[in-house]
Amino acid sequence: KQEVTQIPAALSVPEGENLVLNCSFTDSAIYNLQWFRQDPGKGLTSLLLIQSSQREQTSGRLNASLDKSSGRSTLYIAASQPGDSATYLCAESGSARQLTFGSGTQLTVLP
């Protein structure tokens, strides 16, 4: 069974700081990796999707990278804001034919 790990489970940073969220996966046959944001009491919102043939994707202040050889993906958030506070989940799709989700990193950006 494929596994996706996100460490740390929670992270607090002061406003304005650049930060990196980590995602590790065991699937060597990954097809793509998605990063999601979840606000309390809400569903997940897709932020970025990286295909296995890509190394990174960017959207505004967000940049996601994918390193298949090391089984790692990172989500870089530039100039963090209090509105970025949420839980961030990664999910990989590969040999399991369905998305395998990590447990998420709860981010708090302090004003």
Q: Please report, as ranges, the residues that interact with other proteins according to CB under 8 A.
A: 31-32, 34, 36, 41-46, 49, 51-52, 89, 91, 93, 97-99, 101-104
Report the residue number, 70 or 97, with the smaller CB distance to other proteins.
97
DSSP codes of every residue in 24-61: EE--TT--EEEEEEE-TTS-EEEEEEEETT-SEEEETT
Distance CA 72, CA 56 (A): 12
Report the residue number, 25 or 36, with the smaller CB distance to other proteins.
36
Residue 71 CB, nearest approach to other proteins (Å): 17
Residue 86 CB, nearest approach to other proteins (Å): 13
| Contact between residue 106 and residue 87 where contact means Cβ atoms under 8 Å apart | yes
